[in-house]
Structure 1
Amino acid sequence: MEGGYPSRRSVLKGAGVLVSASVAGCLNQSSGDKSGDNPTTTSASSMTATLSPAGDVSLSGVPEDIFTIYPQYADMAVALGLGDTVNSVYVPKMSGTTMNHYYSQLEGVSFEWESLTNPLTDGVAKEQLLELDSDVHFVDPAWLTTQKGWSQSDISELTETVGPFFGNFYSGTHATPPTEYGEDYQYYTLWELFEAVSQLVGRHDRFTALKEEYDGLISTIEDRLPPKAERPTAVRATLGDGNFYTYHLNRPGYWLADTRPLAATDAFADTEWESGLWGTVGYEAMAEADPDVILHLWGMTPNYSTKETKATLSSHPVAKKLQAVQNERIYAQGMRYQGPIMNLFQLEMTAKQLYPEQFGAWPSYTDGEPYPTIPDGERLFDRTTVAQIITGEH
């Protein structure tokens, strides 16, 4: 590989192996997802980060090829100025198009997804990882052992011959990891996970700058939230096959990093689904809950149409009576697989959709269009600063 990267990836203590990692602040579940203590460490001679379940992982140089599955890691790479090193992402057209919907508001920021492979087309294939020859794999090794054809020995082999694994999947929902990892497995917020990634690739300064923007956004949200009794009931759902695929709003996990800080009243808060975070409900159950707001998950992706969802609900004999339908409060949302840049936009978007009086009204949105332009005085974070941090001009 050109560019001065070592002929073989340098991996130190415990990469891809079950290691007990003591990480302060990893169980922080505050409404703002604020980080606890720094979960990472550095070395003068290499870039080292600690993340459960991989343990301590080191690289000897900034990675030139990064393997990702879910787009939260691709978004992190973009945020750290390494978007052009990503070689794979889940459903590239959906993930990449959605990411660029947000990046359209950031000068000089974009994500080239057209040539990327989809690592889940036929499951995670060991042969694909060998072919891509990545410097680092942003994949949870505990999760990978649950995939067909993978064992801990496979992960160890790929770690030695290709590059380390560094990721944490089960923090997304606080689900239970595989038994062999359960005792030592740690949970992180989205921004704690992002910090670990930034430390590993030697771009912690960009994390720090972006975290300041995030903290400012969270402070704005917390300062303006109306009293609990005045908040709307809401549901995050996707319509399909005659049912609503419905998600909780305020449970732990980084999949909810854009709804939990807004603290709306979850229309299904008392409902327990087998999967924990999400389940399916029919029209009658939705009518009984009768939420004030429906947040249409995936509605800003190219795979789902918010316009069609609105039309379907408006013509359905039960759904048309929903308050959210009658008051035209069905809003397109993005992806739950969100990284830090996506999180900033999705927090702003959700704040305006839930609380227009406090945060300014959400503009109308047309299927397939980029994130709408918000007037300067109504923006909840500074686009120019964020763009300059990402491009290294800050």
Structure 2
Amino acid sequence: MADEPTRRTYLKRTGALVAAGLVAGCSGDSGGTATEGAGASDSASAEPTDTVTGETDGTDDGTESSASAYTVSMSPVGDVEFDGVPENVFTVFPQYADMAVALGHGDALNSVYVPEMSGTTMNHYYERLDGVSFEWEGLYDPLNGGLNKEKLFELGSDVHLTDPAWASTQDNWDGSDVEEIRSQVAPWFGNFYSGTHTDAPDGYGNYQYYTLWELFGKVAGVFQETERYEALSAVHDDLLSTIRSNLPPKEERPTAVRATYSAENETFWTYHLNRPGYWLADTRPLAANDAFGSEQWNGLWGTVDFETLAEADPDVILHLWGMTPNYKMSEVRAALEDHPIGGQLTAVQNGNVYPAGMRYQGPIMNLFQLEMGAKQLYPEQFGEWPEYEDGEPYPEIPEGERLFDRTAVADAVNGDLQS
């Protein structure tokens, strides 16, 4: 298919997705539109130019610059050429919104999944960073009623920070719709299936998986903000080093479960801790003993009842979405304490039911969620997690007890970089 002019002509995409990656009727687990109890959810282009090894990442963002035009490469979109930094940016999940904020381009966003939930949660973390905030009010919710192709035309974005492979699986979408948006509006630039290392839909062979921070480096290339990325990546590397050097031996680590409680059904949505994928970028480095680590679920999460949870009886319960406005931890704890089985759980009796953040985490969220989890799981090594008040920002932690440098993060986001 020949390229057609984009709606905003200063951006263009090269290395077009070939027909093999755009077959109609692409199928696959959309993986991101389910609420999970939160009240919320390689193409045959050029061969990948890098490989993924380990949790930390290099600073090569795959960017090549010449005069004003530059190209950024990523699976599954291949090489994407830009004539200028995007000023009008579409995204779905908040990991990309957090990346944009971290790179100093939060005001370019025109959308984010459930803006009040995502934006409020992000600002709960940003409250502890001087000069950093996210103006989410008025942003479009891209999944309210399903991914809407006509709305993408209306928004006229300069780039869609969304995986075209994922988009092709949405209701009333197929490969031809993905190509229409790419050719007539703006390029796609996202990678969804790295979140859990699940298979991409048919037609997207050679799909490459990235860590969260590798994806962040790619997005930094889109915004031409390599210095900000490198400064934040250095903070992340230091945090991981601190965590790894202080973890107790495996046999001394607590058993834990990452779960979301559904009071209506008296069940728990459960998630793994240590599997591959950037959705676990805040739990995998902490290496707690996963109470359901051997379980295989049909999908991205499992559902267990009180009896099953009692059999596992974890030392710690990390309540996913607990830092979002969708849940009140005081009510969750009360419901567990009052339940005839829940009240007997070791984590409940010992007061080890804690709020966790969001799986859809970007780099700033990841830093805070790593610190939060370290304190909740290993208070003797990293200091105790302070009491969290429902609806309040991330707790203020005394400077000497922080696991990463807030000033360094704020300076990077605000562009106060040492030359």
| Residue 39 to residue 388, structure 1, CA distance change in 2 (3 Å) | closer
**1:149: Cα distance to partner?**
1.7
**1:48: Cα distance to partner?**
1.6
- Say whether the 8 Å CA contact 2:59–2:230 is kept in structure 1: no
| Residue 322 to residue 25, structure 1, CA distance change in 2 (3 Å) | farther
Gaps of 5+ in 2: 1-6, 22-42
**1:341: Cα distance to partner?**
0.4
Aligned residue among 247, 254, 261 for 1:239? 261
Aligned residue among 305, 308, 319 for 1:285? 308
Aligned residue among 222, 226, 235 for 1:200? 222
Q: Distance in 2 between matches of 1:263 and 1:21?
A: 35
Q: Distance in 2 between matches of 1:342 and 1:366?
A: 18
Superimposed CA distance per residue, residues 287-331 of structure 1 (whole angstroms, 9 cap, x where no aligned partner): 000000000100010011111110000000001111100000000
**1:23: Cα distance to partner?**
3.2
**Is it true that 1:225 corresponds to 2:283 in the alignment?**
no
| Residue 25 to residue 227, structure 1, CA distance change in 2 (3 Å) | farther
Question: Within 5 Å, which residues of 2 pair with 1:6-25?
Answer: 7-14=9-16, 18-23=43-48
Partner amino acid, structure 2, of 1:304 = Y
**1:152: Cα distance to partner?**
1.8
Q: Distance in 2 between matches of 1:350 and 1:23?
A: 33
**Is it true that 1:264 corresponds to 2:266 in the alignment?**
no
Q: Distance in 1 between matches of 2:292 and 2:46?
A: 35
Q: Distance in 2 between matches of 1:349 and 1:51?
A: 31
Superposition TM-score, scaled by structure 1 size: 0.95
Q: Distance in 2 between matches of 1:80 and 1:385?
A: 13
Residue of structure 2 equivalent to 1:77? 100
Q: Distance in 1 between matches of 2:8 and 2:147?
A: 26
Residue of structure 2 equivalent to 1:326? 349
**1:8: Cα distance to partner?**
4.4
Aligned residue among 92, 95, 112 for 2:115? 92
- Say whether the 8 Å CA contact 2:8–2:185 is kept in structure 1: no
Superimposed CA distance per residue, residues 177-235 of structure 1 (whole angstroms, 9 cap, x where no aligned partner): 11211x31000000011101101221111111110000000000011001111000000
Q: Distance in 2 between matches of 1:91 and 1:202?
A: 27
Aligned residue among 29, 47, 55 for 2:78? 55
Partner amino acid, structure 1, of 2:12 = S
Q: How many residues align?
A: 385
- Say whether the 8 Å CA contact 2:258–2:273 is kept in structure 1: yes
**Is it true that 1:212 corresponds to 2:234 in the alignment?**
yes
Partner amino acid, structure 1, of 2:274 = N
| Residue 128 to residue 315, structure 1, CA distance change in 2 (3 Å) | same
| Residue 312 to residue 26, structure 1, CA distance change in 2 (3 Å) | farther
* Partner SS state of residue 318, structure 2: strand
Partner amino acid, structure 1, of 2:340 = P
- Say whether the 8 Å CA contact 1:10–1:60 is kept in structure 2: yes
Partner amino acid, structure 1, of 2:387 = S
Aligned residue among 52, 57, 61 for 1:35? 57
**Is it true that 1:44 corresponds to 2:66 in the alignment?**
yes
Residue of structure 2 equivalent to 1:307? 330
* Partner SS state of residue 23, structure 1: coil
Q: Distance in 1 between matches of 2:10 and 2:176?
A: 19
Aligned residue among 202, 214, 238 for 1:179? 202
Aligned residue among 385, 391, 395 for 1:362? 385
- Say whether the 8 Å CA contact 1:137–1:164 is kept in structure 2: yes
**1:13: Cα distance to partner?**
2.0
**1:21: Cα distance to partner?**
4.1
Pairwise CA RMSD: 1.5
